[in-house]
């Protein structure tokens, strides 16, 4: 039995808040006792453990959950800026994905995971490229993040790009192999998802097969939909249906599905998403940077749709910083919906419970409660940029001003404030540095593989 | 199972202007089937026994020729030895200059160059000549990025690399190495973090460990190699060994004593890391390193070493190699 005690911190967690439900926060000056990877209790009396982490002066939150990431694109950071998604795919990202080999993919995944963990994200739903996804899953296993990883599946070409389509048989054989080798390994920390790349580049047959397998193996579905207005309209012209309607017809629109972006859903689509219980992952930075649009997230939340947050890939964000993403998600909607829209507490709920629900992990992560996995992020709140921090009672078990803590986190904190991160009870970041691998080695290898990758580009 | 003795190499510090004498040693080593010969790469002569962490005072006397030019000249006396420096601190020259030296030596020798590099340790000579001497963390990073950049330059038509210490922009580097697999990179040194870099990047690791210390060295190298997605066997293991090759037991005992004093360790430990004495003793010494998985033994060939001494070591090795192998 291994035990970890996190002492002296300000513990902040949501207790409700997914699916648009009112957000309830809970904040205490309390210790957290971790036993065998799970939160065992929030002890009111003095306890000891194998490892004691002094979190005095720190904010202790559930590790952030990102519901849309591409680890394979981390190496492509800054490769194509200031263009729309089709141009971005056509000129840079798709050629670069095709130029990946196992070495560059591994470097990309390791860099991405290192960035996610050191910036406080402990769980990610990530869509990879068509090939060699086992390399990414292996990196997930070794570096200690919790992730649901799927190769991008597509049997139709994206118009205007040179993207290569696979046969359904090829695509499914790949996934089947990954499920057999990786799904549920590392104590459930490593999982495999079915990730048709988009509504517009999978045939109905591919989609139906994915749905069948997802049901059979209890897997998550992850796709891009309604990201770019032109793409969304094109599907309507081709299939006579908009994204959500098509997904519903294929049987995909349900609680297993996370739709990345979901910017251009019309009212009928929103109603469908709501009634079928699918999730939307809001990616505000990527949406702004590619000029895709602004998802009407307050409307989705008001309708009762569960919304999660994601940075998307470093190729379009250009960072995987979940803390910065919270700040943008809070600010972005205020000009249209008013300053009361998207308060810090709501965004914090999206970044934790919302993500957990989207990933089907609502009983595993996203909150700090006994019985849940010890996926925990501790941030220092002593930087100039968060000062003066709200004055809070110092005595053990005192109730704290949760709204003030959420404000510090969402509006003031930075990823560089992240000090300690645990995933499944294992310390993966200490004093802001990755402990599960050598950060310098990762960044050096990333520079090497970036050079190799760009040398292979046509 | 019969132990296969390590292959042999020598290092000839060019603390002399008599290149003809050094050339005789290299030629002898070449004829005797040694695997490699190295110069060393410093700007001033070292004090006897001077090494990382040791303290010395007094006037530095003697000469020091450039390691790379000397290696190029001496290589002209050889046909099959691999040649290089053991090792070049990455603080002396910009990465591209080092890379140019290595690829030039490679072409001069028909594909026999080794690029030997280390993180640099000789603070005094940096201070003497005003060379920057960064902290160990930055030097290790510079070492790793230098090696990474070297490999890219040797492989790609143009290279753009953005490291923290080394930057290349559309860099053109021709000619490429003679061998399709490139120029082997040897990383030398002994700190744990250097072992990590070697495990990740080196084709050959060279260290000063005594046989009893090698298991821990292997562990660290193997772990770093595996973490980097390499096989531990991708990193060959080389031991730098102080040697008295005169065949004289008393002189061998004196060397053990000298090493014990300078390293502040028991003579029994010093005796395991030193090669010396009769042919049997030399053979036993080589097998001590073979037993702990060392592939290559580099003997330090100081000013008194003769071609006959090198022959004595080669013969001792042949005696235990079996089947008449050299």
pLDDT tens, position by position, B79-98: 999 999 999 999 999 999 99
Q: What is the pLDDT of residue A156?
A: 85
- Confirm if A31 and A6 have CB atoms less than 8 A apart: yes
Residue with tokens 């006397």: B61
Residues on chain B touching A113 (C-beta within 8 angstroms): none
- Whether A108 contacts A78, CB under 8 Å: no
Supply the pLDDT for residue B325: 38
Nearest-neighbour CA in chain B from A143: distance (Å) = 10
- pLDDT for residue B115: 98
Residues of B in contact with A445 (CB under 8 A): 148, 200, 228
Which residue from B178, B184, B191 is spatially nearest to B221, judged by alpha carbons?
Answer: B191
Which residues of A are less than 8 Å from B151 in CB distance? Answer: 448
Tokens matching residue B21: 């004498």
Using the Cβ of B141 and the Cβ atoms of chain A, whether some distance falls under 8 Å is answered with yes
- Reported as a pLDDT band with limits 50, 70 and 90, residue A185 is very high
Q: Does pLDDT of B326 surpass 70?
A: no
Q: Which residues of A touch B200 (CB under 8 A)?
A: 441, 445
Cβ-contact B16, B225 below 8 angstroms = no
Residue A448 and residue B158: Cβ atoms within 8 Å? no
pLDDT surpasses 90 at B33: yes
Q: How far is B8 from chain A (nearest CA, A)?
A: 32
Residue B231 forms contact with A (CB below 8 Å): no
Residue B58's pLDDT is what? 79
Cα–Cα distance for residue pair A144/B226, rounded to 1 Å: 16
Q: Are residues B148 and A437, on separate chains, in Cβ contact within 8 Å?
A: no
**pLDDT score of A1:** 79
* Confidence at A160, pLDDT banded by 50, 70, 90: low
Share of chain A above pLDDT 70, in %: 99
Which of A437, A438, A444 minimises the CB distance to B148?
A444
> Does the structure show a pLDDT above 70 at A159?
no
Taking all residues of chain A, what is their mean pLDDT, rounded to a whole number? 95
Tallying the residues shown for chain A, one arrives at 458
Q: According to DSSP H, which parts of A66-203 are helical?
A: 85-88, 94-99, 102-118, 133-143, 168-182
| pLDDT interval class at A291 (50, 70, 90) | very high
ipTM of the complex: 0.79
Burial of B1 (0-12, 13-18, 19+ CB in 10 A): exposed
Pick from A289, A334, A235, A285: which is nearest to A68 by CA? A285
**pLDDT range class, residue B209, cuts 50, 70, 90:** very high
Token code pair at residue B11: 């290092």
User: What's the Cα-to-Cα distance from B202 to each of A120, B225, B236, rounded to whole Å?
Assistant: 34, 9, 8
Under the banding of pLDDT at 50, 70 and 90, the label for residue A176 is very high
Nearest to A446 by CA among A79, A147, A48, A89: A79
Q: Is A161 a residue whose pLDDT tops 80?
A: no
Q: Which residues of A touch B171 (CB under 8 A)?
A: none
Residue B55 predicted with pLDDT over 80: no
Give the span between the Cα atoms of A141 and A204, in whole angstroms: 33
Is residue A268 within 8 Å of A253, Cβ to Cβ? no
Q: Lowest mean pLDDT: which of A253-262, A390-399, B160-169?
A: A390-399
At residue B49, the pLDDT reads: 74
Q: SS3 sequence, B97-128?
A: HHHHHHHHHHHHCCCCECEEEECCCCHHHHHH
| CB contact A445 to B (< 8 Å) | yes
Residue A151, phi then psi, degrees to nearest 5: -70, 145
What would the mean pLDDT of A419-434 be, rounded to a whole number?
98
Nearest residue to A373 (alpha-carbon basis) of A365, A361, A381: A365
Q: Range with the lowest mean pLDDT among A83-87, A242-246, A350-354, A450-454? A: A83-87
Pairing of strands A376-380, A418-423: antiparallel
> How far, rounded to the nearest angstrom, does the alpha carbon of residue A310 sit from its chain's CA centroid?
5
Diameter of chain B by CA atoms? 59
Closest residue in A to B167 (Cα–Cα)? A447
Q: Do A438 and B227 touch (CB under 8 A)?
A: yes
CA distance to partner chain A, nearest, from residue B161 (Å): 6
Q: What is the pLDDT of residues B245-284, one digit of tens each?
A: 999 999 999 999 999 998 899 999 999 999 999 999 999 9
Strand partners, A41: A33
Any idea what DSSP says for residue B230?
A: -
User: Which residues lie across from B299 on neighbouring strands?
Assistant: B10, B241
Give the DSSP per-residue string, A174-213. HHHHHHHHHTTBTTTTEEEEEEESBGGGS-HHHHHHHHHH
Could B152 and A444 be called an inter-chain contact, meaning their C-beta atoms sit closer than 8 Å? no
Q: How far apart are CA B103 and CA B249, in angstroms?
A: 42
The alpha helices in A281-401, defined as continuous H runs, are 284-289, 297-303, 322-332, 334-337, 344-349, 355-358
B52 pLDDT more than 90: no
Q: Are B163 and A454 within 8 A, CB to CB?
A: no
Q: How far are the Cα atoms of A54, A397, A405, A409 from residue A30, in angstroms, in the given order?
A: 12, 5, 14, 18
Residue B61 binned pLDDT confidence (cut-offs 50, 70, 90): confident
Most B CBs within 10 Å: which of A142, A444, A449, as the mutation test of the B interface?
A444
pTM of the complete model? 0.89
Q: Chain B 259-318, CB below 8 Å of chain A: which residues?
A: none
Closest CA–CA distance from residue B104 to any residue of chain A (Å)? 23
DSSP secondary structure letters along A384-423: GGGPSPPP---STT-B--HHHHHHIIIII--GGGEEEEEE
Asked if residue B161 has pLDDT above 90, the reply is yes
Residue B106 has pLDDT above 90, yes or no: yes
Q: Has residue A237 got a pLDDT over 90?
A: no
What residues of A are in contact with residue B227 (Cβ under 8 Å)? Answer: 142, 437-438, 441
Q: Which residues in chain A touch residue B144, judged by CB atoms under 8 angstroms apart? A: 440-441, 444
Which residues of chain B have a CB within 8 Å of the CB of A448? 148, 151-152, 161
B152 vs A106, A437, A451: nearest CB:
A451
Taking phi over 0 as left and psi of -120 to 50 as alpha, with beta for the rest, A293 belongs to left
The number of residues in chain B equals 326
Which range, A82-86, A153-157, B309-313, has the best average confidence (pLDDT)?
A: B309-313
B 160-199: CB under 8 A from A: 160-164, 168, 196-197
Find residues 143-162 of chain B whose CB sits inside 8 Å of chain A: 144-145, 148, 151-152, 155-162
Q: Is residue A448 less than 8 Å (CB to CB) from chain B?
A: yes
Instruction: List the 367-406 stretch of A: residues with Cβ below 8 A of B.
Output: none
At which residue do the structure tokens 């004055």 appear? A391
DSSP letter for B213, please. Answer: G
Contact A112, A316 (CB under 8 A): no
B41 touches chain A (CB under 8 A): no
- Residues pairing with A152 in the sheet: A195
Q: What percent of chain B has pLDDT over 70?
A: 98
pLDDT of residue B3: 80
CA atoms A84, A86, A90, A96: torsion sign: positive
Chain B residues lying within 8 Å of A137, measured CB to CB: none
Query: Which site among A440, A451, A453, A454 would you substitute to test the B interface, given the most B Cβ atoms closer than 10 Å to its Cβ?
Result: A451
Cβ contact, residue pair B227, A444, below 8 Å: no
Average pLDDT, chain B: 94
**Top-confidence residue, A369 or A394:** A369
- Predicted local distance difference test score (pLDDT) of residue A162: 67
CA A236 to each of CA A221, A227, A248, A329: distance values in angstroms, whole numbers, following the listed order: 22, 14, 14, 29
Residue A70 distance to chain B (closest CA, Å) = 21
Residue B278 makes CB contacts below 8 A (sequence gap 6+) with: B247, B249
Residue B56, pLDDT above cutoff 80: no
CB atoms within 10 A of CB B110: 12
Share of chain A above pLDDT 90, in %: 85
Tokens of A366: 């996203």
Do A76 and A446 form a contact (C-beta atoms < 8 A)? no
Distance from CA of A386 to the nearest CA of B (A): 29
Query: Is A142–B145 a contact, with Cβ atoms under 8 angstroms apart?
Result: no
**Residue B195: its chain A contacts at CB < 8 A?**
none
* CB of A443 less than 8 A from some CB of B: yes
B85 touches chain A (CB under 8 A): no
pLDDT beyond 50 at B26:
yes
Confidence of residue B47 (pLDDT cuts 50, 70, 90): confident
Residue A11, classed as helix, strand or coil, is strand
| Predicted local confidence at residue B323, as pLDDT | 44
Identify the burial level of A445 via C-beta atoms within 10 angstroms of its C-beta, where 0-12 means exposed, 13-18 middle and 19 or more buried.
Answer: buried
Q: What residues contact residue B32 under an 8 Å CB cut-off, 6+ apart?
A: B8, B310, B311, B314, B326
Task: List CB contacts of B177: < 8 A, sequence separation 6 or more.
Answer: B103, B106, B111, B113, B154, B183
Which chain B residue's Cα is nearest to A443? B163
**Residue appearing with tokens 């004289």:** B248
- Given its phi and psi angles, is residue B33 left (phi above 0), alpha (psi -120 to 50 degrees) or beta? left
SS3 for A149? Answer: strand
Give the tokens for residue A378.
């501790």
**Dist CA B162 CA B180 (whole Å):** 25
CA distance B158 to chain A (A): 7
Q: Which residue has the tokens 């190295």?
A: B38
Rg (Cα) of chain B, in Å, rounded?
A: 19
- Quote the pLDDT of residue B135: 95
Q: What is the pLDDT of residues A59-108, one digit of tens each?
A: 999 999 999 999 999 999 999 999 988 888 888 998 999 999 999 999 99
Does B324 have pLDDT greater than 50? no
Of chain A, the end-to-end C-alpha distance in Å amounts to: 53
Q: Which two tokens stand for residue A397?
A: 């078990």
C-alpha distances out from residue A259 to A71, A220, A264, Å: 17, 11, 12
CB B174 within 8 A of CB B155: no
pLDDT bin (cut points 50, 70, 90) of residue B60 is: confident
Per-residue model confidence (pLDDT) at position B176: 98
Cβ atoms of B161 and A448 closer than 8 Å: yes
B155, B157, B163 ranked by CB distance to A444: nearest = B163
Q: What is the C-alpha to C-alpha distance for residues B131 and B149, in angstroms, rounded to an integer?
A: 21
Size of interface A-B (CB pairs under 8 A): 51
pLDDT of B9 > 60? The answer is: yes
Mean pLDDT within B207-225: 97
Q: How do strand A10-16 and strand A58-62 relate by DSSP bridges? A: parallel
Judged by DSSP in three states, B222 sits in helix
CA distance A349 to A366: 8
């Amino acid at each position: 039995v291994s035990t970890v005690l996190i002492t002296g911190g300000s513990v902040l967690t949501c207790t409700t808040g997914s699916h648009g439900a009112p957000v309830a926060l809970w904040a205490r000056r309390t210790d957290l006792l971790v036993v065998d990877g799970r939160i065992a209790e929030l002890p009111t009396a003095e306890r000891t453990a194998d490892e004691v982490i002094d979190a005095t002066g720190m904010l202790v939150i559930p590790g952030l959950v990102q519901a849309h990431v591409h680890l394979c694109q981390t190496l492509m950071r800054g490769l194509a800026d200031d263009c729309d998604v089709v141009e971005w795919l056509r000129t840079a990202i798709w050629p670069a994905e095709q130029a990946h080999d196992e070495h560059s993919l591994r470097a990309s995944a390791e860099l991405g995971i290192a960035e996610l963990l050191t910036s406080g994200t402990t769980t990610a739903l990530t869509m990879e490229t068509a090939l060699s996804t086992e390399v990414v899953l292996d990196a997930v296993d070794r570096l200690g993040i919790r992730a649901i990883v799927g190769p991008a599946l597509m049997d139709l070409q994206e118009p205007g790009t040179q993207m290569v389509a696979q046969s359904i048989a090829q695509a499914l054989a790949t996934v089947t192999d990954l499920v057999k080798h990786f799904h549920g390994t590392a104590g459930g920390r490593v999982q495999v998802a079915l990730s048709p790349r988009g509504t517009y580049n999978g045939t109905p047959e591919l989609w139906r097969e994915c749905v069948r397998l997802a049901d059979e193996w209890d897997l998550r579905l992850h796709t891009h939909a309604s990201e770019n207005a032109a793409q969304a309209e094109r599907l309507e012209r081709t299939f006579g249906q908009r994204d959500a309607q098509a997904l519903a017809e294929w049987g995909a629109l349900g609680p297993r599905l996370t739709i990345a972006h979901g910017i251009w859903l019309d009212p009928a689509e929103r109603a469908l998403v709501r009634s079928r219980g699918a999730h939307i992952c809001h990616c505000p930075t990527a949406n702004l940077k590619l000029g895709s649009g602004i998802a009407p997230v307050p409307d989705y939340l008001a309708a009762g749709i569960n919304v999660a947050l994601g940075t998307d890939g470093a190729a379009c964000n250009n960072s995987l910083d979940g803390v910065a993403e919270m700040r943008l998600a809070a600010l972005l909607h205020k000009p249209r919906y008013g300053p009361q829209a998207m308060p810090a507490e709501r965004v914090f709920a999206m970044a934790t419970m919302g993500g957990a629900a989207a990933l089907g992990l609502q009983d595993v992560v996203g909150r700090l409660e006994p019985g849940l996995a010890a996926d925990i992020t501790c941030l220092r709140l002593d930087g100039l940029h968060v000062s003066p921090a709200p004055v809070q009672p110092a005595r053990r078990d005192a109730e704290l001003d949760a709204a003030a803590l959420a404000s510090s986190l969402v509006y003031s904190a930075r990823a560089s404030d992240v000090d300690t991160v645990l995933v499944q009870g294992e310390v993966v970041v200490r004093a802001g540095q990755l402990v599960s691998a050598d950060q310098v080695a990762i960044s050096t290898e990333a520079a090497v593989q970036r050079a190799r990758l760009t040398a292979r580009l046509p | 199972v019969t132990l296969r003795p390590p292959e042999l190499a020598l290092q000839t510090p060019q603390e002399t202007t008599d290149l003809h004498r050094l050339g005789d040693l290299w030629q002898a080593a070449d004829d005797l089937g040694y695997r490699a010969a190295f110069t060393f790469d410093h700007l001033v002569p070292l004090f006897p026994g001077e090494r990382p962490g040791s303290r010395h005072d007094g006037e530095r006397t003697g000469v020091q020729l450039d390691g790379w030019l000397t290696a190029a000249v001496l290589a002209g006396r050889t046909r099959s030895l691999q040649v290089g420096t053991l090792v070049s601190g990455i603080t002396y020259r910009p990465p591209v200059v080092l890379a140019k030296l290595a690829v030039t030596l490679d072409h001069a020798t028909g594909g026999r160059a080794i690029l030997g590099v280390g993180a640099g340790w000789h603070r005094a000579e940096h201070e003497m000549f005003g060379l920057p001497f960064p902290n160990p963390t930055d030097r290790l990073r510079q070492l790793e990025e230098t090696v990474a950049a070297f490999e890219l330059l040797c492989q790609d038509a143009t290279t753009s690399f953005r490291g923290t210490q080394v930057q290349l922009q559309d860099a053109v580097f021709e000619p490429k190495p003679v061998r399709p697999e490139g120029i082997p990179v040897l990383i030398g040194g002994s700190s744990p973090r250097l072992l990590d870099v070697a495990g990740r990047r080196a084709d050959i690791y060279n260290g000063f460990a005594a046989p009893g210390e090698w298991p821990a060295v292997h562990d660290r190298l193997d772990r770093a190699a595996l973490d980097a997605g390499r096989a531990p066997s991708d990193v060959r293991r080389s031991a730098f060994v102080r040697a008295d090759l005169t065949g004289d037991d008393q002189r061998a005992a004196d060397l053990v004593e000298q090493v014990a004093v300078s390293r502040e360790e028991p003579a029994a430990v010093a005796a395991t890391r030193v090669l010396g004495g009769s042919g049997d003793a030399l053979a036993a010494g080589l097998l001590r390193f073979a037993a702990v998985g060392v592939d290559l033994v580099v003997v330090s060939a100081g000013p008194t070493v003769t071609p006959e001494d090198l022959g004595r070591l080669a013969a001792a090795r042949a005696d235990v190699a079996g089947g008449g192998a050299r």
